[in-house]
Amino acid sequence: MNTTVLTIYCVAGFIVLAEALNKLERTAPLSCGPGWRKRATEWLKAIAWMLLAVGGAGALASPLMPHDKPSVQDICLVLGFAVLIVRTRVKEG
């Protein structure tokens, strides 16, 4: 992986991590909201942003850990987006 691609990847990882931590701070999965659907969507949102935060942090750490197969951060990013899609579908109900 060349230096330019690695730099772009790290910057993108930092942006994902910063946004995920920002959004995660706003979630309230333990709040006693009305109805199971609202609680379920909050839990799904919190899980998704946590996974995206782990993926972003992994992207920042990847220069220190060379790899040649799909890494943990790649899996977490894909899984985080999948959970957000499921959350949206549950919310639309």
Whole-model pTM? Answer: 0.73
DSSP single-letter state for residue 29: T
Those residues of the chain that have pLDDT short of 50 are: none
In b/e form, how buried is each residue of 56-86, taking b as 16+ CB within 10 angstroms? bbbbbebeeeeeeeebebeebbebbeebbee
**pLDDT tens digits for range 6-18:** 777 777 788 888 8
CA-to-CA dists, residue 64 to 16, 59, 84, angstroms? 19, 10, 29
* pLDDT of amino acid 82: 74
* pLDDT of amino acid 71: 60
Instruction: Look at the chain and report how many structural domains it folds into.
Output: 1
The boundaries of the domain holding residue 34 are 3-92
